[in-house]
Homo-oligomer: A and B are copies of this chain.
Amino acid sequence: MSIRLLNMIRLKYGAGLGLAAAFSISAAPALADEGMWTYDNFPLAQVNEAYGLKLDQKWLDRVQGASVRLTTGCSASLVSDKGLVFTNHHCVVECAQDLSSDKTDYVQDGFLTASREEEKKCPGMQAEILTSITDVTREVQAAGLGKTGQDFVRARDAVMASLEKSGCGDDPNLRCQVVTLYRGGQYKLYRYRKYSDVRLVFAPEFATAFFGGDPDNFNFPRYNLDIGFVRLYENGKPAATPQHLTWTSRAPQDGEATFVSGNPGSTNRLMTVSQLETLRDLTIPVGQLQRSEIRGRLIRFSEESPEHKRIATDPLFGIENSYKVFFGQQFALNDKAFMDAKRAQEAELKAKITADPKLAAEIGDPWGDIAKAQEAYANNYVRYRQIEGGATYSKLYDYARTLVRAAEERSKPSAERLPEFADARLALMEKTLLDPKPVDAPLEETYLSFWLSKTREYLTTDDPAVKTLLGKESPEGLAQRAVAGSKLADPAVRKALWDGGAKAIAASDDPLIQLALRNDPNARAVRKTWETEVQAPTDAAAERVARAKFAAYGEEVYPDATFTLRLSYGKVGGWTYRGQTIPATTNIAGLYERATGAEPYQLAPRWVAAKDRLNGSTVFDFVTTNDIIGGNSGSPVVNAKGEILGAAFDGNIHSLGGAFGYDGSINRTVVVATSAATEALAKVYGRTELVKELTGK
């Protein structure tokens, strides 16, 4: 689940679409408060000077050690010495949904524990804490030397997997990952302490966490208690975590320096113009049109019955969230002034390189190479998306494909496999595959039928790959038959197929296994074309673009986001746009004023009952100037003393083009305050033990 980075821009002020185009475009040194910095390249001196602080390496180490990555796509932080982790509700809602049934709805009603015995394991969730970073640029780049096409891609994949393997050995408590930074300018080995047993401790009601729902999702002022707590377990007991942040219930102060430590998922600020044009003209529009249709199907689906509403709540939230993120990206890229600024910046970089003949000879024309690869991209994208991408959202298809491919790949030496099946990567794959999770057949049927019908729509009925998928069946008929007949919802069945390998797969009459099996040759074929014609030339050229940027602007720059740990700095503060000033904070009284009684502005019953007990002036949500993006959800917002002021959960409407640039005058991070969390835990939910663990009182 990615942070809800929001996307309507000027629309809410009735001013149409299109970005303000005031972005810094960050190849050159970053502007104030800009950047999602790696911990090994944080501009400490610059920040201390700008904010009058004396932060040191020890402070950095302490915050790093308390920062948690959740493999489900979020960030979080340790807030007690007993493994207690603070994050967003929308980072644990999938867990709450997985733990629910048609009898118990933890999403609607909240998940409240009074003691540790009631905490329940979140299926598929793993928590990871970064412990070290090692430069492996030379090793990775060497592996690709003299190679092209798929050979180039696979040789580097193999060396990365092997570095991961040697970096962590067989220690089941460690995870190693080679991270591509600056689009290939650097490669770093990130080493994590991992926790595979993560249990849900507390989640408020969906109506409380997501008050204002999708309509307010890109809005501020906000009144969302978007908090959740999980706990790390080791050997069935709460993990000892002496290194944690200090919980504070005091309100954030206007102008107070804030640091967001988390895992921004993905930015494209270092992409070349031709890549951005492809995103704008092809990738995003196709994705959005499909997302919009499945959104419509799920909205109607969830109106059909309370049970359909229950099972569709979390998926619909996820889809609407992504929809808004890409809506913002689309209209940012559609803004001519913004793209002109990107063009000017690329021209400036090229001019700097050209001015140095030796450098020019070394760099060549990677921009031209990437532009050329865009043609192959356009020619193959839709097929790659539909045939190799598979049935988005479907758990069953995902299980089936993993099992089918694993059976073939695991029989090969690690270095010769598809990279996601390398030895170093199997542990998390196995956990994801085998953890028990509810599978909702009516949703699965919807996803499968959607995928099959869109694949036929985009590739046409007469396409051989479509014929292979459908035979004489309709998308709807095949989806119905496959879901009804599949046994893959049962973890034991998946385990048997995982353990049984190629022989078990060949013998399986499971219709989803058969579907994934007959699609696999076509999927591998288009993946090969993609890696050869698109990925290899793009990766090779992107390294030279990065080299050009380092040469022109030095290494005091931050890389694009990669869902790895970053630190951003900024301060608490509202903003002014078109003469309207938005204050930095909201309070609890404001929630009651905004409530209408109709969804999504309906208060949960506990909040109606607690109204008189609550201090209305308690700060609820607030905004800061920190530069973040989806994946940062749940990130601790820390002050200079290392106290946690809140968890980032959103961005304001102006932060939308955040994938492509940052404008500190109006881009804002939206945070749920620890002050509101404490007040609510104590007075709305009566979680005395939890409050005591957090505050010591």
Contacts and interface: CB of A to CB of B under 8 A. Distances in A.
Contact of A14 (B14, B377, B463): B463
Provide the main secondary structure of the chain A interface: helix
A41 interface: no
Interface string A556-574: 0000000000000000000
A378 B289 contact: no
A487 to B, nearest CB: 25
Contacts of A18: 281-282, 378
A450 to B, nearest CB: 8
Contact of A459 (B11, B299, B383, B474): B11
A202 interface: no
A12 B459 CA distance: 5
A219 B460 contact: yes
B461 A215 contact: yes
Interface stretch (A51-59, A178-186, A591-599): A591-599
Interface in A287-326: 288-290, 292-301, 303-304
Interface in A575-631: 596-601
A637 to B, nearest CB: 25
B11 A382 contact: yes
A461 B599 CA distance: 12
A462 B14 CA distance: 11
A16 interface: yes
Given A296-B296, A457-B214, A474 B598 contact: yes
Given A381-B16, A463-B12, A334 B285 contact: yes
Contacts of A330: 285
B294 A215 contact: no
A371 to B, nearest CB: 11
Given A293-B296, A296-B296, A599-B474, A461 B214 contact: no
A16 B462 CA distance: 16
B282 A334 contact: yes
A380 interface: yes
A379 to B, nearest CB: 4
A214 B219 CA distance: 38
A556 to B, nearest CB: 35
B296 A8 contact: no
B296 A379 contact: no
A531 interface: no
A294 B292 CA distance: 9
Given A219-B460, A294-B296, A458-B11, A382 B289 contact: no
Contacts of A463: 12, 14
A451 interface: no
B303 A460 contact: no
A423 interface: no
Interface centre among A286, A293, A378 (most CB of B within 10 A): A293
- Can you tell how many copies of this chain the complex includes? 2
A219 B18 CA distance: 36
A259 interface: no
A461 B217 CA distance: 11
A473 interface: yes
A287 to B, nearest CB: 11
Interface string A439-457: 0000000100000000011
Contacts of A216: 461
A12 B599 contact: no
B214 A16 contact: no
Contact of A285 (B285, B296, B298, B601): B285
A286 B14 CA distance: 15
A660 to B, nearest CB: 16
Given A17-B382, A378-B18, A379-B15, A215 B297 contact: no
B378 A16 contact: yes
Contacts of A381: 16-17
Interface centre among A18, A216, A331, A598 (most CB of B within 10 A): A598
Contacts of A223: none
B289 A215 contact: no
A327 interface: yes
Interface in A337-390: 377-383
A172 B638 CA distance: 77
A372 to B, nearest CB: 14
A446 B296 CA distance: 11
A212 interface: yes
A476 interface: yes
Contact of A11 (B280, B288, B336, B460): B460
A477 interface: yes
Given A301-B300, A334-B282, A334-B285, A380 B458 contact: no
A472 interface: yes
A455 B648 CA distance: 28
A652 to B, nearest CB: 12
Interface centre among A18, A300, A304, A458 (most CB of B within 10 A): A300
Interface in A391-444: none
B292 A219 contact: no
A17 B382 CA distance: 8
B296 A292 contact: yes
A304 to B, nearest CB: 7
Nearest to A602: B474
Given A289-B289, A300-B301, A456 B380 contact: no
B334 A460 contact: no
Contacts of A11: 382, 458-460
Contacts of A290: 292
Given A282-B17, A327-B289, A456-B215, A12 B294 contact: no
B14 A383 contact: yes
Given A292-B293, A296-B298, A296-B299, 5 more contacts: A17-B381, A17-B382, A214-B457, A472-B597, A474-B598
13 contacts: A11-B458, A11-B459, A11-B460, A12-B463, A215-B461, A285-B331, A293-B295, A294-B296, A296-B299, A297-B297, A300-B301, A473-B596, A476-B599
